[in-house]
Amino acid sequence: MSQIEIPAALAKSVSIARSVVVLTGAGVSAESGVPTFRDAGQGLWAKYDPMRLATPEAFNADPELVSRWYDMRRQAIASCRPNPGHQAIAELEERVLQRGDRFTLLTQNVDRLHHSAGSRRVVELHGTLWKLRCVQCHAETEDWSAPLRTIPPRCECGGLQRPGVVWFGESLPDEAIDAAYEAIEDCDLFLTIGTSAVVYPAAGFSQIAHAHGAPIAEFNVGETPISSMADWSIRAPSGVALPALLAAAFNSRAPRRRGAR
């Protein structure tokens, strides 16, 4: 039995919500062994600041250095698997959709572990490092090679390929930002999981959900700038807390059908 105490009101909210939004950050992938964004500057990369490497200026100045950093992260992530936190989020999506209600997963993560865990309603706010985009012809391709075949990678047209992620100073894709605001304004339950809530616009999503009257649950091992706004704060690793949340909300019953309440 899990030793995580899930507030009964939160469990009830999860079991009856008509429109659920989940926002995730690197903390959800930490238990899969994926370094969080700030950890990505450890070890031999300690002398580089990820906030400076993840910019168009850094890539334009030194495409080889930036490509090497992403190649290192791709190789580190290639052997990582979804953890029980990812799996619980995928199961929550299935249960909410099966009862005829709405579910949207907004992720800041670029590792695609949510997809590997079976999540389908995923909005990748910051793109993914498993896509490459040509800076010359703008062709975007999925590329799962680890290590990359060449550093920096090159498109068939000869152009340099950059990672298919959103860098600091770049706008999020229109379709991602539109989908995010539509889901947040509609939701009646907002779960923010494993994010330090410092990178905008994602860091502002809890505020918008709150302004629209949605209750907020924060799952994080530590405090964040939005903790004071949360109706519930679960201070535990998401890989333990999220399975406990589902057990409490659904009493580990088989997925319920609408009207079977």
Which active-site residues does the annotation give?
A: 126
Q: Which residues pair with residue 24 across a beta bridge?
A: 107, 193
Q: Which is nearer to ligand BV8, 112 or 126 (CB)?
A: 126
Query: Distance between CA 27 and CA 224 in Å, rounded?
Result: 12
Using rule CB under 5 A, residue 150 touches Zn ion: no
Q: Which is nearer to ligand BV8, 145 or 207 (CB)?
A: 207
Contact with Zn ion (CB under 5 A) among 16, 51, 78, 137: 137
Assess contact for 135 and 60: CB atoms under 8 A. Answer: no
Beta-carbon contacts of 63 under 8 Å, excluding residues fewer than 6 positions away, are 152, 160, 162
Strands 140-142 and 216-219, sheet pairing = unpaired
- What residues between 164 and 193 interact with Zn ion by CB under 5 A? none
Query: Distance between CA 159 and CA 5 in Å, rounded?
Result: 53
Using rule CB under 6 A, residue 26 touches ligand BV8: yes
Near ligand BV8 by CB under 6 A, which window of 21-29, 96-104, 142-150, 152-160?
21-29
CA separation, residue 176 to residues 91, 107, 128, 169 (Å): 22, 10, 13, 16
Using rule CB under 6 A, residue 195 touches ligand BV8: yes
Residue 201 binds: one of Zn ion, ligand BV8, none (C-beta under 5 to 8 A by kind)? ligand BV8
Q: Annotate 172-186 with DSSP letters as a single string.
A: PPHHHHHHHHHHHHH
Q: How far is the CB of 218 from Zn ion (least distance, A)?
A: 42
The sheet carrying 189-193 orders its strands as 122-124, 102-107, 19-24, 189-193, 216-219, 232-234
Residue 134 binds: one of ligand BV8, Zn ion, none (C-beta under 5 to 8 A by kind)? Zn ion
Near ligand BV8 by CB under 6 A, which window of 15-23, 36-44, 149-157, 179-187?
36-44
Contacting positions for ligand BV8 (CB under 6 A): 25-27, 30-31, 36-38, 54, 108, 110, 126, 165-171, 194-196, 198-202, 219-222, 224, 237-238
